[in-house]
Amino acid sequence: MADVVYIDEEDGKKRVMNNGKFYAKLLTKFRDETNLNDLVAFSEAQDWEKAQAAAQAKGTSVANYHEWSQVLKDLNESGVKSTGSFSGDKAKLQEVESAVKEFVAKVQKEQSAQQQQEPKKVEESTKTDREQQIKATVANATSSVVMADYMKYYHLLG
């Protein structure tokens, strides 16, 4: 076991109270339940997302490590921790996507309501403007009549 580059035998034994037989049993079980060829290939290619997906897939059959690595990447970008299993991560990502869709729908609904209120505000403003215009026209007409009458009386008296 000491020849394998990826295994720290000393640290591994410490984690199992220096029980070498138990540690060997754990390593054998990991080897049997994990597709080590994929794990090693991804590690050598330094494709760490796929390597993580392959390592986490122990005991499960995930034919598409690329899909899981994408799920892990999306979860990471969303600030959500991996559940440690492909099905759990996929379900968690669906929850996140659902929450995002609900949020977007809520924002769109609010914007729609706000846009529906805009024409009412414009209509109210236009109505107020029309009223002001009518008042100004009446005031102008009244002042013109008053001025005309004044001029008429001024000339008659003068």
- The structural domains of the chain, with segments of one domain joined by +, span 34-157
The residue behind tokens 């008296």 is 157
Alpha-carbon gap, residue 83 to 89, rounded angstroms: 6
Tens digits of pLDDT across the chain (158 residues): 444 456 778 888 887 788 888 888 877 877 776 666 676 677 677 777 777 776 666 555 555 666 777 777 788 888 888 777 777 888 888 888 888 888 888 888 888 887 777 777 767 777 777 888 888 887 777 877 777 777 777 777 76
Taking a C-beta distance cutoff of 8 angstroms, is the pair 82, 72 a contact? yes
For the record, the structure tokens of 58 come out as 């122990």
- Phi and psi torsions of 23, nearest 5°: -65, -45
- Verdict on whether the full-model pTM lies above 0.75: no
Helix (H) or strand (E) holding 111: helix 86-157
